[in-house]
Amino acid sequence: MIALKANPGALQIDLAQTALLIIDMQRDFMEPGGFGDSLGNDVSRLRVAIEPCRRVLRAARAKGMLVIHTREGHRPDLSDAPPAKVARGKPSSRIGAPGPMGRILVRGEPGHGIIEELAPLDNEPVVDKPGKGAFYQTDLELMLRNRRIANLLVCGVTTEVCVHTTVREANDRGYICVVLADCCASYFPEFHATGLAMIAAQGGIFGWVSSSDDLMSALSTSTA
C-alpha cells in the first residue's frame, strides 16, 4: 500500500491492483513532422512530460506494476477513421497523408511509434486505439479486469484530449484514476491547467491529481 498525496485529498492505493497507463507518447504528437505539428501546434511543449514519465516508468517497473502504453492511429486503409476526423486541416497534412515520418497517424509508420525515451518492454501491452479514449474499440478493459486492476496512474498527452477522455471513460467504469500532472502535457498550457482542475473538481468528480514527485515519495515508503 502507498499513501499518495493528491488533490482533492490524499488516498491509499494498493499497488497490486494498480496499473500505470501511458497515453499516446508517440512521435506523431511529440516530434516535428507528425500529426500534431501538421495541425500547427508547437510540439516542443509536450516534451516537458518526457522526463517525469520516464522516472515514473522506471519506478513502476521496479515495483513490478502492470504498465500499459497506448497509441492513437488508424489502419492503413483508414477504414477505422471517421470521415469527420480525417477531414481536419489541410489535405496535404491530414490523417493518412504522407509526411516526414511516413503516413500521418497510420499504424506501422515511424510516426505512429512511441518515442524512444519511453519505449515499451516486450512484456508491456501496447493498446492501439482508433479514437481519443483508450477504452473505445480496444481490449484495454479486458486486460485490466483480467489482472484485477482497480486503480490507474495516468500519464501522457494531451491532457485535455486523450488523457481527459480516457479518465472519463475509466471513471464511468469504476476505476480510481490518479493523473500525474507533470507527466502530462498539452500544446496549450491553459488547457492543461483547466483539464487537471476539472478532474479534481467537486471532490474528485473524475479522479485525483498528483505528481511524479509525490508518487516517488509514496513509493519510497510503501508498505506490503
Backbone CA torsion sign across 88, 163, 78, 187: positive
Cell of 197: 482542475
Report the catalytic residues. Answer: 24, 129, 162
Rg of the chain over all Cα atoms, to the nearest angstrom: 17
Q: What is the pLDDT of residue 179?
A: 98
**pTM of the full structure:** 0.94
Domain ranges of the chain: 2-220
- Give the integer Cα–Cα distance in Å for 86 and 96: 8
pLDDT in tens, 124-180: 999 999 999 999 999 999 999 999 999 999 999 999 999 999 999 999 999 999 999
- Strand 102-103 with 126-129, pairing: unpaired
- Give the integer Cα–Cα distance in Å for 45 and 211: 18
pLDDT band at 12 (very low <50, low <70, confident <90, very high): very high
Q: What is the pLDDT of residue 132?
A: 97
Cell of 77: 486503409
2-220 CATH pick, 3.50.50.60, 3.40.367.20, 3.40.50.850, 3.30.470.20? 3.40.50.850
Report which of residues 222 and 86 the model is more confident about: 86
Q: What is the pLDDT of residue 39?
A: 82
Q: What is the pLDDT of residue 222?
A: 73
